[in-house]
Amino acid sequence: MTRRETDALWTLVRAERAALLSDLQGLTDEQWRSPSLCGEWDVENVVAHLTAAATTTRFGWLRSMAAARFRPAMHNERRLAEHLGATPQQTLEAFRAVIDARIAPTSDITAFLGEVVVHAQDIREPLGLTTTPSAEALTAVAEFYAAKDFAVPSHAMVEGLRLRASDTPFTHGTGPEVVGPLLSLVMAMAVRPSHLDRLDGAGAATLRQRVEDE
């Protein structure tokens, strides 16, 4: 990846963080405690997780994983606890401080753009917030997810299917077609069942089954 491509991806990461920050600034204490789409985490937990991701170097990740005996769930919980503030406002300010950060434990910057894109929707969907990621960010994440399993089995979810976005030029793969908004395709690849009802086509039932079985 060239320096220009790397810079472009970090610019997208920064923009998506900033958009989420804008959404978070007006939340009530009750909304901060609302469940997210991300397992048992509430909104504040997800924000703290994003702060942790933005402050973890390669060495820091290896050290944390070793301390967690290479159990990703324990690693995530320990890092999350480090970045939860005493109040939601403190957690928000910690996130604000990493908006411009260009730190990642691996060179897969698109994967960390995906972290921001998907976790932002994990927060927005339950709260009824209508902000959506940019088409450019979604396209980069969709291409990465469709081609490679990373933090989630995104490639496995869509292997042997043809994806076609109904709102952008994005297409990928061959086989029975799954068609719908690009955001919904990305969220389905991230194993989020919430967007499955927004997808259609001959391959939609197969994708639904894979997501529900994961």
pLDDT digits (tens, 9 = 90+) for 86-102: 999 999 999 999 999 99
What is the token pair recorded at 72? 């990703």
Q: What is the pLDDT of residue 66?
A: 60
Given a cut of 90, whether residue 178 has pLDDT beyond it is: yes
The arithmetic mean of pLDDT across residues 5-33, rounded, is 97
Domains of the chain, each with CATH number or no CATH: 3-127 (1.20.120.450), 135-213 (3.30.1050)
Q: Are 142 and 189 in contact (CB under 8 A)?
A: yes
Q: What is the distance between the alpha carbons of residues 203 and 189, in angstroms, rounded to a whole number? A: 13
Compute the distance between CA of residue 36 and CA of residue 166 in angstroms, rounded to an integer.
26
d(CA 214, CA 208) in angstroms, rounded, equals 10
pLDDT band at 56 (very low <50, low <70, confident <90, very high): confident
| Percent of the chain with pLDDT strictly greater than 90 | 81
The overall average pLDDT reported for the chain is: 92
User: What integer pLDDT is reported at residue 77 of this predicted model?
Assistant: 75
**pTM for this model (two decimals):** 0.91
pLDDT 10s digits, 144-158: 999 999 989 999 999
Give bridge partners of residue 200 from the DSSP assignment. 179
Angle between helices 88-96 and 3-24 in degrees, nearest 10? 160
Of 109, 84, 145, give the one whose Cα is nearest residue 12.
109
The closest of 157, 148, 150 to 187, measured between CA atoms, is 157
pLDDT of residue 75: 62
